[in-house]
Structure 1
Amino acid sequence: MSIYIGLGGWGDHDSLYSKGTKSTDRLSVYTKHFEIVEIDSTFYAIQSPERMRQWMAQTPPHFKFIVKAYQGMTGHQRGSSDVASKREEMFAAFLAMIQPLIEHDRLICVLFQYPPWFDCMTKHVMVLRATKKLMNNIPCALEFRHQSWFRDEMRAKTIQFMKDEQWIHSVCDEPQAGDGSIPMIIESTNETLTMVRLHGRNESGWNDTGDDKWREVRYLYDYSEQQLAEWLPRLEQLSQGSEDVFVIFNNNSGGHAAHNAKQLMILLGQQRPDGKHPMEALPQSVEQLELF
């Protein structure tokens, strides 16, 4: 049983990089700190297989990727008239994109994060079943953004559905801010792996307030060491149900994700992939930033 720590993307974490580090060099530098990463850009556009090969070439053979499903595949493009008609075409292009990762055993799973309006209804259960079939036997993680899936008696039914359909549970740490957030449920649904995504706990900034910059505010949060320590028994519990647990810090807005991830690595007694102490050689630490 292993616990792996990583971040959402590699471009936004300035504390990992020396001044002047080129954007094209950031991924290779990132791999000195972490062994996994979640690719977020695939949510906004399906990339080419060649782009996947480029990213693989910039990383060591043991380094692996979680790939976020394209927004058209998860229904985020609400109101677009041609999304439904192009559903199979989108899935085919996405599968072609990740094929190099699969061939070289560099794919952890594909993350399907559904929008807040994807609530617990029969038609949405059917969407999940159809999606799983389209993805064949590729490992797929499932993350909801509507509390109805876990409210009252639906909680046990949703977990059992995920087990039956072989969905990987994406366990979330996020603020409880109404229907558009889900509770933290420490339960594995897949014997091979479980995902954990820490989004921060910025309750006031979680929901869309109409401000164009609300997305920048949503993930603005710095976990305390005590809050991170509370995850140790939770990760141990998840490890009892899955061979591997993959933890992604997504509290990127204020630059806290990398520091929090390294704090958790220390609590778990882990080293960096290059064998160094997790906090070693940070160009600018969070503690230094807080002095001014």
Structure 2
Amino acid sequence: MICIGVTGWGDHYSLYPPQIKPKDKLAEYGSHFPVVEVDASFYAIQPERNVSKWVNETPENFRFVVKAYQGMTGHQRTDIPFETKAEMFQAFKNSLRPYQKANKLAMVLFQFPPWFDCKKENVNYLRYCKQMMEDIPIALEFRNQSWFNDAFRSDTLAFMREQGWIHAIADEPQAGEGSIPVVPVATNENMTLIRMHGRNFHGWTKPKNKDTNWREVRYLYKYNEKELIEWKEQVLELAKASKDIIILFNNNSGGDAAGNAKQLQNMLGIEYDGLAPKQLGLF
């Protein structure tokens, strides 16, 4: 099955009626797409009450891709509110219980930072993550080009297959060492994840500083028809090697993610059953 959605549900204004309250957005989102990425879990391990609320607001067949906490991926290296890594991983796994109980957890996404390069120490840490997450489906997204250079590409993919990692294939600007090429290879026969970040080179490379909101420009991109047709063909090929394909559009600095997601859905001729009714848009 091919499931298409976007990252987060708060900022996609084209999906919602003008008067909608923030607390009602997820329920309305579920009338448009069957899957969403949870970004809040990256910034803080979410209380189970939050997760239970999200689970209860979505249709029975809805699925969540939950982003791993930043302390687990090395984005946050100081002031982590846990004494040990094991305690941190356990707290995160505890937060997943409501998703699991409702059979709504698609996978956990481990997106590593640009400085997480291909070396023995980091390969060992990936083994540790896989061990700590036990049988929970986990996806792996790199942000350092070294994993897919000529010397390591084959070994990286073989390692992911051996360890059972789901490949999070990224479409993003080709901006040197801190970005990765499109590698349309499935490493898990059950699931493959595709994340569409856009191709805004200048936004991607814009320095982060206190005077600018880099997120407002980094994902400022609208995929054109030709680019989506190319992805349509790649998705259909990947579907031959992986039972479920999840595609998440993250190009929302200009509000384009939801529109591009629906455009690709139409190109693939997909109609989803079991979505929530669009009740809020009637008034």
TM range (shorter): over 0.9
Give the corresponding residue for 1:69.
68
| Cα RMSD after superposing both structures | 1.9
Pick from 112, 117, 120: which aligns with 1:119?
117
Give the corresponding residue for 1:290.
none
Paired with 1:55 and 1:138, the residues of 2 have a C-alpha distance of 19
Structure 1 residues 88 and 98, CA gap change in structure 2 (3 angstroms):
same
Please tell me whether the aligned partners of residues 168 and 194 of structure 1 are also in contact (alpha carbons under 8 angstroms).
yes
Paired with 2:109 and 2:53, the residues of 1 have a C-alpha distance of 21
Q: How far off is 1:83 after superposition?
A: 7.1
Q: Which amino acid aligns with 1:123?
A: E
Instruction: State percent identity of aligned pairs.
Output: 49
Paired with 1:24 and 1:185, the residues of 2 have a C-alpha distance of 37
Pick from 86, 97, 100: which aligns with 1:99?
97
Paired with 1:210 and 1:191, the residues of 2 have a C-alpha distance of 38
Paired with 1:181 and 1:229, the residues of 2 have a C-alpha distance of 23
1:19-34 matches, within 5 Å, as 19-34=18-33
Please tell me whether the aligned partners of residues 8 and 39 of structure 1 are also in contact (alpha carbons under 8 angstroms).
yes
Give the corresponding residue for 2:217.
217
Q: How many residues align?
A: 277
- Where 1:223 maps in the other structure, the secondary structure is coil
Please tell me whether the aligned partners of residues 55 and 102 of structure 2 are also in contact (alpha carbons under 8 angstroms).
no
Please tell me whether the aligned partners of residues 194 and 244 of structure 1 are also in contact (alpha carbons under 8 angstroms).
yes
Query: Do structure 1's residue 251 and structure 2's residue 245 form an aligned pair?
Result: no
Paired with 2:82 and 2:55, the residues of 1 have a C-alpha distance of 32
Q: How far off is 1:118 after superposition?
A: 0.3
Give the corresponding residue for 2:241.
241
Query: Do structure 1's residue 174 and structure 2's residue 177 form an aligned pair?
Result: no
Give the corresponding residue for 1:146.
144
Q: 1:73-110, CA deviations, whole angstroms, 9 ceiling, x for partnerless residues?
A: 000013x1657843111111110000111122110000
Paired with 1:115 and 1:181, the residues of 2 have a C-alpha distance of 10
Paired with 1:273 and 1:200, the residues of 2 have a C-alpha distance of 28
Give the corresponding residue for 1:89.
87
Give the corresponding residue for 1:267.
267
Paired with 2:239 and 2:282, the residues of 1 have a C-alpha distance of 30
Paired with 2:79 and 2:64, the residues of 1 have a C-alpha distance of 32
Paired with 2:87 and 2:14, the residues of 1 have a C-alpha distance of 39
Paired with 1:84 and 1:54, the residues of 2 have a C-alpha distance of 25
Q: TM-score, normalised by structure 2?
A: 0.94
Please tell me whether the aligned partners of residues 195 and 247 of structure 1 are also in contact (alpha carbons under 8 angstroms).
yes
Paired with 1:31 and 1:248, the residues of 2 have a C-alpha distance of 14
- Where 2:108 maps in the other structure, the secondary structure is strand
Paired with 1:141 and 1:227, the residues of 2 have a C-alpha distance of 24
1:7-86 matches, within 5 Å, as 7-78=6-77, 80=78, 85-86=83-84
Structure 1 residues 40 and 210, CA gap change in structure 2 (3 angstroms):
closer
Structure 1 residues 104 and 82, CA gap change in structure 2 (3 angstroms):
closer
- Where 2:176 maps in the other structure, the secondary structure is coil
Q: How far off is 1:70 after superposition?
A: 0.4
- Where 1:105 maps in the other structure, the secondary structure is coil
Please tell me whether the aligned partners of residues 188 and 242 of structure 2 are also in contact (alpha carbons under 8 angstroms).
yes
Please tell me whether the aligned partners of residues 33 and 274 of structure 1 are also in contact (alpha carbons under 8 angstroms).
no
Please tell me whether the aligned partners of residues 39 and 65 of structure 1 are also in contact (alpha carbons under 8 angstroms).
yes
Paired with 2:255 and 2:246, the residues of 1 have a C-alpha distance of 20
Q: 1:142-192, CA deviations, whole angstroms, 9 ceiling, x for partnerless residues?
A: 000000000012001100000001000000100100100000001000010
Structure 1 residues 282 and 236, CA gap change in structure 2 (3 angstroms):
farther
Structure 1 residues 273 and 105, CA gap change in structure 2 (3 angstroms):
same
Paired with 1:55 and 1:83, the residues of 2 have a C-alpha distance of 24
Please tell me whether the aligned partners of residues 59 and 274 of structure 2 are also in contact (alpha carbons under 8 angstroms).
no
